[in-house]
């Protein structure tokens, strides 16, 4: 057990690619937590996906031992996910800390997600240590960046640390500042146990491992514990600290951070934000505040690309669910795509990650329908229906109104791109709330926007209209009535459920026309003329035609080389078998994949900027 | 009945679209090749002893690149070792510039009784696009020579869809062909094969692939023009005056046995298909060493045979016995005029013929 006065719990708030993982690597080195030969880049990022994309999806905390002025300190670095999809997880990580390093790229300046997380950190009462990173890069403007941060934090520009996480410059000063400025944790070690789960992961051998901050009391290594939100009592198997490899300890006491092997087998039973206490009469009567059920924001249908893999997809989702408490799914059947699942995600990045993990870790080939948000439909008579699949949208005339989720969006941009950003937000039915200048060159704008508009290539548009300089963050705002309609796409008179979309009436025509045009390119000619129609109810709003195919014949068929002709025909037969049949129309898999591909951008492109 | 196919791989020049086993610049092998054909026949003969050969077909390449005397010697040799029926159909393919009356007469006398002339087009621009070296006039000259030499069964090969060819130029080609009053016309839609000079140019986008819709129009025009002239459309690409169908090719489509001799030639009998080495040098080396020039073989499975049976029959006016098609599969196509029912058989309409692949897949599943 460490004296509370010797503990510092902190996190790093930074934008993707501003050097958080690299800084963490340097801290591991200067505290000798990892020896040189074991070091690898982005040490704390667990999944290959994270290293590949240069982003942190799932945080991993680490305990560092640091000597300063003859004293020995424990620095608990609590890594945080840096993406808008995971705001709740970020808030729980912040709640486990007393301090936050605000790390900003000296060439890029502060960005919207950093700003959002900075506000979260300050609202949580954390001590902020501002720092500028990458000061040794040619394009760096450390003084400008420092001035911007100082303005935001409300400190003097000289108090902003100058760091190069890559070379190690200023990293020791930063560690010193953490010791000097971040207050030690407080907590009552003799009170009933309250430990907050700020992260949890599934380990194939050990079950669910939670990462906890002990707020009050003591967490013994082996004890019968209660997960308060779920109301489940289990035998905890082992408590310990990550340094960065797991080191078991006898107990974790108030103020400390560590891991607990819970003995549960499903992350849904040990959720981020939940409070752990002792089972029985020694337990706390109240959980810690701030727990929230994960709530999917974006929905999409996932279908096996080759029919028949449905059970494999189900098994894969069941397995993935063990390690992803935010993933929701329910069986769905589509006329066009067969059996699959309607899946709920925290956001687009989360959706991308799940899809990629399903494809990579479980070797599945998937077709995903275009993502949609959850609508609330108020039916005639007052009944409210949650619609997260366009096919569930009631027919026109059977409902009174429709409501859609709105988000409060923050955009930070060089002032010269304000015009294009106004245009973009305007075209996405946005309502501007306010705007302010961070510096004479950079502005912060707040918009109220429909979430449905954001998940439809908003991010890409924002990036392309601002040459990559603008950044975006958003948070849920609530529901608001909207004039929404379901647009159906019909092939040769048959509706293709996978292509249906619930969309604002003003955009319905454009959507219908675009889908029809896209499909005209993707659907091979059939021996009859194929009409592609977009419709609202029974009203056709767009039409394209795929002309009838008139030639499909092997030419010269003599000379006796019939083998080759037969093989060509067999190939053609296989190609045909791979197609999906909609009514009488053969539609290739690729058509579904391409037509449903929305180049929405998920924030990961930022890393490649 | 059985057929005998003889492949002659030599050409004066190789056309850009051609993916047959044909070569230019190998003429120095002609003497050895003639010998080899005879030797191969000797080697293969034991398996075909007693088999009645009803048709013989010399194809290529350009069979008429061989010396007349060589052709005659080879045919005579075949007569000695195979049971070639009296009244057998004996066809030779000829390119217009390689024949004259004297050569054709000699061949006629030796027993070649059917001539297939590689006319391809009567439009000089289309001939140029196809890289054919002859002119429309040399086709007329060759045809006239054939008649003088006594051939009463002459086919004209035509190709439609060459780059730049229009519907009206195709109409003139059809007229040009009909003006000669042939017994048989083969009209093929130009197909771009990837492993040909033309295929590579199309892939590199320096040449345009034929427009399938235009080819469909051309096909429809051929159906009309030849039909009006009294020809029967008895296979996707073949038309004949009544009774003048090419029996040799009918044999392929009806899956009769055939023996192929020469480089790359295919043979078929009793569910087995085998083929010779393609490169002429390899073929020669094998035969000269006294070995059958085997290049490969396959044993057709029941499914293979069924598929071949369906797609070959469906190409012809024979069509498919109704019992071979699952009930319900045909209905749409009958409605759409792509398929017709005549008594107990399903037969493709002319429009259906140009969609034969689709129809095969649709009817067999």
Collect all residues of chain A within an 8 Å Cβ-Cβ radius of residue B361: 569, 572-573, 576
Question: pLDDT grade, residue B43 (50/70/90)?
Answer: very high
A607 or A349, higher pLDDT: A349
Q: Which of A547, A557, A574 would best serve as a mutation to test chain B binding (most B beta carbons within 10 A)?
A: A557
Mean pLDDT of B164-169: 96
Mean pLDDT of A402-422: 94
| pLDDT > 90? residue B201 | yes
User: Among A235, A239, A232, A214, which Cα is nearest to A224's?
Assistant: A235
If you count residue pairs, one on A and one on B, with CB atoms under 8 Å apart, how many are there? 94
Cα angle vertex A535, ends A530, A540, to 5°? 75
Is A549–B212 a contact, with Cβ atoms under 8 angstroms apart?
yes
- The residues of A whose Cβ lies within 8 A of any Cβ of B are 527-528, 547, 549-563, 565-566, 569-570, 572-573, 576, 584
Is A551–B304 a contact, with Cβ atoms under 8 angstroms apart?
no
d(CA A179, CA A61): 17
**Chain mean pLDDT for chain B:** 95
d(CA B263, CA A76): 80
Collect all residues of chain A within an 8 Å Cβ-Cβ radius of residue B249: 558
- Check if the beta carbon of residue A279 is closer than 8 Å to that of residue A226: yes
Q: What percentage of chain A carries pLDDT values higher than 90?
A: 53
| pLDDT > 80? residue B226 | yes
| pLDDT > 70? residue A177 | yes
Collect all residues of chain A within an 8 Å Cβ-Cβ radius of residue B213: 547, 550-551
List the beta strands (DSSP E) in A392-508: 399-414, 431-437, 442-450, 471-482, 484-491, 494-495, 501-504
Question: pLDDT grade, residue A527 (50/70/90)?
Answer: very high
Is A527–B336 a contact, with Cβ atoms under 8 angstroms apart?
yes
Those of residues 204-243 in B touching chain A at CB distance below 8 A are: 212-213, 215-216, 219, 236-237
Q: What is the pLDDT of residue A1?
A: 62
- Check if the beta carbon of residue A258 is closer than 8 Å to that of residue A289: no
Collect all residues of chain A within an 8 Å Cβ-Cβ radius of residue B20: 559
Q: What is the pLDDT of residue B288?
A: 98
Across the strands, what pairs with A402? A377, A482
Is B252–A557 a contact, with Cβ atoms under 8 angstroms apart?
yes
How many Cα atoms occupy the beta-carbon half-sphere of B66 within 13 Å? 29
Q: How far is CA B204 from CA A57, A243, B16, B364, in A?
A: 45, 60, 14, 36
Mean pLDDT of B229-246: 97
Q: What is the pLDDT of residues B298-356, one digit of tens each?
A: 999 999 998 999 999 999 999 999 998 887 889 999 999 999 998 899 999 999 999 99
Q: What percentage of chain B carries pLDDT values higher than 90?
A: 92
Collect all residues of chain B within an 8 Å Cβ-Cβ radius of residue A556: 188, 191, 237
Question: pLDDT grade, residue A457 (50/70/90)?
Answer: confident
Q: What is the pLDDT of residues B69-87, one digit of tens each?
A: 999 999 999 999 999 999 9
Is A562–B267 a contact, with Cβ atoms under 8 angstroms apart?
no
- What residues have CB less than 8 Å from B335, skipping those under 6 apart? none
Question: Residue B361's closest chain A neighbor by CA?
Answer: A573
Mean pLDDT of A241-266: 91
List the beta strands (DSSP E) in chain B: 2-8, 10-11, 23-24, 52-60, 83-94, 114-120, 154-160, 184-189, 232-235, 238-240, 258-261, 266-269, 272-276, 294-299, 320-321, 339-342, 345-348
d(CA A495, CA A504): 20
Within an 8 Å CB–CB cutoff, is residue B332 touching chain A?
yes
Question: pLDDT grade, residue A520 (50/70/90)?
Answer: very high
| pLDDT > 50? residue A602 | no
The minimum CA-CA distance between B325 and chain A, rounded to whole Å, is 17
Q: Which of A546, A559, A567, A577 would best serve as a mutation to test chain B binding (most B beta carbons within 10 A)?
A: A559
What is the number of other CB atoms lying within 10 angstroms of the CB of residue A579? 17
Q: What is the pLDDT of residue B257?
A: 96
Cα angle vertex B128, ends B127, B133, to 5°? 75
**Chain mean pLDDT for chain A:** 88
- Structure-token pair, residue A568: 């060509």
- Check if the beta carbon of residue A322 is closer than 8 Å to that of residue A269: no
Within an 8 Å CB–CB cutoff, is residue B188 touching chain A?
yes
Question: Residue B256's closest chain A neighbor by CA?
Answer: A560
Question: pLDDT grade, residue A44 (50/70/90)?
Answer: low
Within an 8 Å CB–CB cutoff, is residue B266 touching chain A?
yes
Q: What is the pLDDT of residue A251?
A: 94
Mean pLDDT of A507-522: 92
Question: Residue A562's closest chain B neighbor by CA?
Answer: B308
Name the helix (H) or strand (E) containing A112: helix A112-123
Is B191–A562 a contact, with Cβ atoms under 8 angstroms apart?
no
Question: Residue B264's closest chain A neighbor by CA?
Answer: A561
Question: pLDDT grade, residue A58 (50/70/90)?
Answer: low
The minimum CA-CA distance between A578 and chain B, rounded to whole Å, is 13
d(CA A424, CA A328): 31
Q: What is the pLDDT of residue A125?
A: 93
Q: What is the pLDDT of residue A605?
A: 32
Question: Residue B333's closest chain A neighbor by CA?
Answer: A527
Cross-chain CB nearest to B354 (options A547, A551, A565): A551
Q: Are strands B339-342 and B345-348 parallel, antiparallel or unpaired?
A: antiparallel
| pLDDT > 60? residue A51 | no
The stretches of A523-588 forming alpha helices (DSSP H) are 562-577
Question: pLDDT grade, residue A604 (50/70/90)?
Answer: very low
The minimum CA-CA distance between B3 and chain A, rounded to whole Å, is 10
Phi then psi for residue B293, to 5 deg, are -85, 55
Q: What is the pLDDT of residue B36?
A: 98
Least confident of A340-354, B52-66, B96-110: A340-354
User: Among B286, B59, B101, which Cα is nearest to A556's?
Assistant: B59
Question: pLDDT grade, residue B48 (50/70/90)?
Answer: very high
Q: Reduced to 3 states, what is the DSSP secondary structure of residue B70? A: helix
């Amino acid at each position: 057990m460490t004296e509370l006065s010797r503990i510092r719990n902190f996190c790093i708030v930074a934008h993707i690619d501003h050097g958080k993982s690299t800084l963490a690597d340097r801290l591991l080195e200067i505290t000798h937590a990892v020896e040189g030969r074991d070091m690898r880049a982005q040490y704390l990022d667990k999944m290959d996906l994270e290293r590949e994309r240069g982003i942190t999806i799932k945080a991993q905390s680490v305990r560092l031992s640091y000597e300063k002025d003859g004293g020995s300190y424990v620095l608990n670095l609590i890594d945080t996910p840096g993406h808008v999809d995971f705001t709740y997880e970020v808030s729980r990580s912040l709640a486990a800390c007393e301090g936050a390093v605000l790390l900003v790229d000296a060439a890029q300046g502060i960005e919207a997600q950093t700003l959002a997380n900075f506000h979260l950190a300050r609202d949580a009462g954390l001590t902020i240590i501002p720092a500028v990173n990458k000061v040794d890069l040619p394009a760096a403007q450390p003084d400008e960046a420092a001035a911007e941060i100082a303005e935001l934090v409300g400190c003097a520009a000289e108090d902003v640390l100058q760091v190069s996480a890559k070379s190690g410059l200023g990293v020791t000063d930063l560690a010193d500042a953490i010791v000097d400025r971040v207050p030690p944790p407080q907590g009552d070690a003799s009170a009933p146990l309250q430990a907050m789960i700020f992260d949890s992961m599934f380990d194939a051998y050990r079950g669910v491992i939670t990462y906890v901050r002990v707020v009050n009391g003591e967490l013994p290594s082996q004890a019968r514990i209660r997960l308060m939100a779920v109301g489940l009592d289990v035998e905890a198997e082992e408590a310990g600290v990550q340094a960065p490899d797991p080191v078991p300890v006898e107990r974790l006491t108030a103020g400390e951070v560590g891991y607990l092997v819970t003995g549960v087998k499903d992350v849904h039973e040990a959720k981020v934000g939940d409070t752990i206490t002792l089972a029985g009469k020694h337990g706390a009567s109240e959980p810690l505040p701030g727990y929230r059920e994960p709530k999917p924001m974006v929905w999409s249908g996932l279908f096996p690309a080759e029919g028949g893999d449905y059970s494999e997809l189900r098994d894969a989702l069941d397995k993935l669910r063990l390690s992803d408490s935010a993933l929701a799914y329910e069986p769905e059947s589509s006329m066009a795509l067969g059996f699959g699942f309607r899946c709920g995600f925290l956001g687009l990045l989360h959706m991308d990650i799940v899809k990629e993990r399903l494809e990579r870790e479980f070797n599945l080939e998937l077709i995903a329908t275009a993502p949609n948000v959850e609508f609330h439909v108020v039916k005639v008579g007052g009944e409210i229906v949650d619609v997260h699949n366009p096919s569930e949208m009631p027919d026109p005339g059977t409902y009174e109104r429709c409501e859609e989720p709105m988000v409060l969006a923050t955009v930070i941009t060089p002032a010269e791109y304000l015009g294009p950003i106004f245009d973009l937000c305007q075209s996405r039915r946005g309502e501007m709330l306010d705007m302010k200048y961070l510096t004479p060159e950079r502005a912060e704008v707040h918009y109220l926007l429909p979430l449905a508009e954001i998940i439809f290539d908003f991010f890409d548009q924002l990036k392309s209209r601002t040459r990559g300089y603008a950044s975006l963050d958003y948070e849920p705002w609530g529901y608001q009535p909207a004039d929404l309609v379901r647009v159906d796409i019909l092939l040769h008179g048959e509706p293709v459920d996978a292509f249906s979309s619930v969309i604002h009436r003003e955009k319905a025509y454009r959507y219908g026309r675009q889908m029809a045009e896209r499909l005209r390119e993707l659907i091979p000619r059939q021996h009859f003329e194929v009409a592609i129609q977009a419709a609202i109810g029974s009203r056709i709003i767009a039409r394209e035609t795929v002309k009838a195919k008139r030639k499909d014949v092997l030419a010269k068929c003599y000379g006796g080389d019939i083998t080759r002709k037969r093989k060509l025909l067999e190939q053609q037969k296989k190609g045909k078998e791979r197609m999906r049949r909609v009514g009488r129309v053969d539609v290739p898999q690729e058509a579904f994949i391409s037509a449903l591909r929305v180049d929405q951008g998920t924030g990961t492109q930022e890393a490649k900027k | 009945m059985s057929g005998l196919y003889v492949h002659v791989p030599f050409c004066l020049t190789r056309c850009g679209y051609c993916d047959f086993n044909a070569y230019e610049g190998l003429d120095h092998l002609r003497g050895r090749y003639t010998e080899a054909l005879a030797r191969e026949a000797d080697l293969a003969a034991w398996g075909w002893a007693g088999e009645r050969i009803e048709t013989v077909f010399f194809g290529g390449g350009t069979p008429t690149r061989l010396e007349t005397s060589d052709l005659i010697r080879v045919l005579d040799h075949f007569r000695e070792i195979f049971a070639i029926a009296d009244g057998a159909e004996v066809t030779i393919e000829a390119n217009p510039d390689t024949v004259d009356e004297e050569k054709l007469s000699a061949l006629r006398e030796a027993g070649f009784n059917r001539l297939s002339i590689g006319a391809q087009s009567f439009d000089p621009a289309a001939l140029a696009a196809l890289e054919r070296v002859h002119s429309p006039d040399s086709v007329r000259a060759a045809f006239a020579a054939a008649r003088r030499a006594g051939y009463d069964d002459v086919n004209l090969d035509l190709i439609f869809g060459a780059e730049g060819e229009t519907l009206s130029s195709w109409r003139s080609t059809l007229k040009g062909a009909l003006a000669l009053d042939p017994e048989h016309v083969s009209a093929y839609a130009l197909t771009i094969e990837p492993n040909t000079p033309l295929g590579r140019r199309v892939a590199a986008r320096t040449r345009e692939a034929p427009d399938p819709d235009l080819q469909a129009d051309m096909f429809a025009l051929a159906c009309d023009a030849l039909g009006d002239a009294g020809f029967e459309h008895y296979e996707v690409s073949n038309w004949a005056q009544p009774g003048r169908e090419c029996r040799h090719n009918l044999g392929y489509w009806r899956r009769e046995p055939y023996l192929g001799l020469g480089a790359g030639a295919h043979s078929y009998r009793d569910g087995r298909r085998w083929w010779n080495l393609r490169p002429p040098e390899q073929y020669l080396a094998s035969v000269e060493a006294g070995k059958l020039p085997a290049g490969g073989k396959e044993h057709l499975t029941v499914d293979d045979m069924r598929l071949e049976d369906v797609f070959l029959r469906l190409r012809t006016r024979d069509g498919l016995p109704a019992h071979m098609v699952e009930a319900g599969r045909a209905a749409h196509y009958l409605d759409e005029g792509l398929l017709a029912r005549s008594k107990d058989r399903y037969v493709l309409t002319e429009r259906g013929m140009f969609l034969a692949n689709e129809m095969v897949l649709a009817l067999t599943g």
